[in-house]
Amino acid sequence: MAESHDIAVHAEHDHKPHGWRRWVFATNHKDIGTMYLIAAGTMFLIGGLAAMAIRAQLFKSGMKLFDPAMFNSLTTMHGLIMIFGAIMPSWVGLANWMIPMQIGAPDMALPRLNNLSFWILPFAFTLMIASFFVPGGAVAGGWTMYPPLMQQFGDSFPMLIFAIHLMGISSILGAINIVVTIMNLRAPGMSLLRMPLFVWTWLITAYLLIAVMPVLAGAVTMQLTDHFFGTSFFNAAGGGDPVLFLHVFWFFGHPEVYILILPAFGVISEIIPTFSRKPLFGYEAMVYATASIAFLSFIVWGHHMFTVGMPVAAQMFFMLSTMLIAVPTGVKVFNWTATMWRGSLSFEPPMLFAIAFLFLFSIGGFSGLMLALVPSDYQYHGTYFVVAHFHYVLVPGAVFAIFGAVYYWLPKWCGRMYDMRLAKWHFWLSVIFVNVLFFPQHFLGLAGMPRRIPDYAPQFTDWNMVSSIGGFIFGASQVLFPYIVWKCVRSGKPVEANSPWDGAHGLEWELPSPAPYHSWTTPPSAAVLAHGAEH
Amino acid sequence: MKRARLGKLLGTLALALAGGALPAWGKSGWDELNMPRGVTNVSTRIYALHMMAFWVCVGIAAVVFGVMIWSLVFHRKSRGAVPDISLTHSTKVEIVWTIVPVLILVSMAIPAARLLVRINNNTDSQLSIRVTGFQWGWRYQYVGSNVSVISKLSESSTDASMMHSGISPTSVPHYLLSVDHPIVVPVGEKIRLLITSIDVIHSWWVPDLGVKRDAIPGFINQASFTIAPDKTGTYRGQCTELCGRGHAYMPIVVHAVSPAAFQAWLKQQSALDKEAAAGAPATAVTRS
Ligand code: HEM
Ligand SMILES: [Cu+2]
Ligand SMILES: [Cu+2]
């Protein structure tokens, strides 16, 4: 493969700044991607520690490790850190690494903007975490920040809002960069309907981000002016409406949950064909399903508010639109299943995580469907059943997809192979204990345990103990992941071939390993493109 | 096979956990698995809807997971499976797996919609109670009488919940689920709740009644329930909307009694309240 060879030679001429300048002034998509992933990993660790504290407090009835106010701060910050600090930046980091390589571009279209959107984040995260240490402690109103409760917190309240503003700006800039890159820097011949699904799902996610992050920013800013400048947007005593906030928040919030999961759909659509040694079943259907999920995600927000007292017609509408989302979601799951059907499957770590995703994300989808039925939701809402639902879609859903993505592409990034045996340990510990952790929460919710409580009646102790033990082991197992990655980067066995996976297709695998600093300095030729997109 | 190994591991783990938590056995915490059927027509119908949705999901899961597991077992490379790379799409199956889910969803939506309309019919009630959430407790006013009840976490639970109480929650009757002044309602009558809040959002939930409605400042939400005539008893619930540090500590306790007993209670309560109002205005203010 002559082209690849040329690139390999070229790679040796990479000029990159050395020392701290390389990172602070970074404009290279790989460096920025790496920084995103490290930042996200750090936040995952902090959010995870908060989760361990929560599970310790909930180990049994009458446990008193934390004051209830502190406990509420922990759950609030856990949610915010995981969503805005861990999962979203992970996806942006992966987008940075992979999109230029997958579409045949040298880098992202707007490298300086890229630098800015990353470097906003450490400030935002610092502000958010520092709010733990101001008088009154961190905000404790839940990640949903409903007023008037939200108005009762001290200095941490404006700090959190500014942190959200910053994270929002960062996300919007990152999303603009991704859209511009995908629209303008595709290699000749890479038409939209030849793009890999990770690129497709990210394109759609980027539009979702641009559409809803300003909505969130607006909603929290209105809370800010209510608090400091005497407005009454959400203050009933001043003629305002607390429910308005819920509507605006969930108009952001439901698309947001798809921002967290659509890139995961993309990753799974890359991994399953590779290890099934078969092209993705129903490529176009996958693209259209993603687009229709994104569209529907704008008209289902009311399903988070069935108990606030909306008119029956509105509840009916939100029930039906929510149930409709299950159709394209089902199409995706069926397509993945059909991709494995009559394939030639092997079970390397990325595939293991993808398979776990298939099963466990589906369980989250089933509970979602149950939650969509309004009368049932009257019983489920605000309980551990909901906690189980969204953790099934977010942990073995989004987080497992992130693990799968890193195990899939890491050999390409650093030209070395990780320790497969350890990675399989990481997988088995994760997949077993994520279920021990979250499955019993369905029972707890159904039996009547509300969410966001620091203490509960004794009859809930048994399943909470199971859940906490699952949580501690799941949490501890995650330490393997940074170790595996670190060990791979330092001393993994070099990968000679362009691709360590015999079933892999796509432009990223046409580049030498490790991938050159500037991905495709010359656009891939038609022959390379054809080879990359083979089948 | 990996799945079998996984099952075994889970089984062993469950056993180990059960062993570790043995004293808890018999307290029946382990069989707290499902939604209660409850004591109202609505709650039983919600339970039926919930179970129907559950079994539909189990059915779909059996088929979809079955196909996945079949592939995982029989289409593996180590068994010499050769990929069928021509299998990239099929309009026929794609139409089928779009239409069939739609039909399943419609069949679930119809009973759900019917029940939804039924639940939100709050007309023709025989008794109205104004429910006001506050940080942290509930105030109940019986419309058409002067009776008003302020209901807060019971003293024994409050003491036990304190930071260094040293009191075991199992030694407290209904820890965190008991109040000082429960409300009393008649069975067999349709009772309408008018729910609001004076500070932040709360949510009034009693699973056995099948009622959960948010208490929102500036709004009055309605909900109603009719307890089956033979279901006198005590029903417990909790606030289900995060409302600050006391959120876990504002339970709801409903005593359902016969209509005659209810009338007697109301009369007695009303006399008590009048007495209190005459004798000690200061306490009357805090009580009502
Ligand atoms: C079949 C698809 C899905 C359906 C039908 C569905 C339905 C629902 C419903 C009805 C609720 C509200 C429950 C309540 O509070 O009473 C809910 C909550 C939630 N869902 Fe989903 N969902 C689906 C997929 C997802 C996905 C893919 C994600 C994220 C990756 C997600 C994340 C969440 C979160 C975070 C919440 C809770 C928000 C909160 O109250 O803090 N869901 N879902
Ligand atoms: Cu939603
Ligand atoms: Cu509450």
Nearest to A172 by CA among A87, A59, A259: A259
Binding-site residues, ligand 1, Cβ < 6 A = A 144, 257, 260-261, 303-304, 322, 325-326, 329, 365, 368-369, 371-372, 377, 380-381, 386, 389-390, 393-394, 397-398
- What per-residue confidence (pLDDT) applies to B109? 97
A430 contacts in B (CB within 8 Å)? Answer: none
A351-374 pLDDT per residue, tens = 999 999 999 999 999 999 999 999
pLDDT at B279: 64
Q: What domains appear along chain B, each with residue ranges and CATH number?
A: 34-80+89-121 (1.10.287.90), 127-276 (2.60.40.420)
ω into residue B136 within 30 of 0, thus cis? yes
Instruction: Give me the residue label for tokens 């088995």.
Output: A428
Q: How many CB atoms lie within 10 A of CB A58?
A: 25
Residue type at B71? S
pLDDT at B280: 52
Disruptive mutation site among B50, B134, B249 for chain A (greatest number of A CBs within 10 Å): B50
pLDDT band per the 50, 70, 90 thresholds, residue A289:
very high
Given a contact cutoff of 8 angstroms between Cβ atoms, the answer to whether B210 and B225 are in contact is: yes
**How far is Cα A210 from Cα A173, in angstroms, rounded to an integer?**
9
Residue with tokens 């002559």: A2
CA A249/CA A260 separation, integer angstroms: 16
Give the list of residues 6+ apart from residue A300 with CB closer than 8 angstroms, or none.
Answer: A254, A318, A321, A322, A325
Please tell me the predicted confidence (pLDDT) of residue A65: 93
Amino acid at A393: V
Indicate if the alpha-carbon torsion angle B119, B123, B125, B131 is positive or negative. Answer: positive
**What is the pLDDT, as a whole number, of residue A13?**
53
The ipTM value here is 0.92
* pLDDT of amino acid B2: 44
H or E segment at A478? none
Look at A285 and B94 and tell me if their CB atoms are within 8 Å.
Answer: yes
- Tens of pLDDT, residues A436-476: 999 999 999 999 999 999 999 999 999 999 999 999 999 99
Residue nearest to atom 8 of ligand 1 (CA): A368
A97-142 pLDDT tens trace: 999 999 999 999 999 999 999 999 999 999 999 999 999 899 999 9
Q: Determine the residue type at A38.
A: I
Pairing of strands B137-142, B183-186: unpaired
- Looking at domain A2-533, its CATH superfamily turns out to be Cytochrome c oxidase-like, subunit I domain (1.20.210.10)
At residue A128, the pLDDT reads 95
CA pair distance A116, A163, nearest whole angstrom? 15
pLDDT digit string (tens) for B172-225?
Answer: 999 999 999 999 999 999 999 999 999 999 999 999 999 999 999 999 999 999
| DSSP 8-class letter at A397 | I
Query: Is the pLDDT score of A228 beyond 90?
Result: yes
Q: How does strand B233-239 pair with strand B202-206?
A: antiparallel
Q: Under 8 Å CB-to-CB from B183, ≥6 apart: which residues?
A: B129, B140, B149, B151, B253, B254, B255
Active site residues of A: 78, 107, 143, 170-171, 254, 256, 258, 269, 303-304, 329, 332, 451
For residue B164, the model assigns a pLDDT of 85
Q: Which residues of chain B have pLDDT under 70?
A: 1-28, 279-288
Q: What are phi and psi of A532, to 5 degrees?
A: -60, -35
Q: Pocket of ligand 1, candidates A212, A257, A320: which has the most ligand atoms within 8 Å of its Cβ, to mutate?
A: A257
Domain boundaries, chain A: 2-533
The model's confidence at residue A14, banded by pLDDT at 50, 70 and 90, is low
Least Cα distance to A382 among A450, A440, A308 occurs for: A450
- Confidence at residue B23, expressed as pLDDT on a 0 to 100 scale: 42
List strand residue ranges (DSSP E) for B145-244, in order. 148-151, 183-186, 190-197, 202-206, 211-215, 221-226, 233-239
pLDDT tens per residue across span A250-266: 999 999 999 999 999 99
Closest of B231, B185, B205, B240 to residue B41, by C-alpha: B231
Each residue's pLDDT tens digit, A474-504: 999 999 999 999 999 999 999 988 899 999 9
pLDDT confidence band for A32 (50 / 70 / 90): very high
CB B167 within 8 A of CB B159: yes
Whole-prediction pTM? 0.92
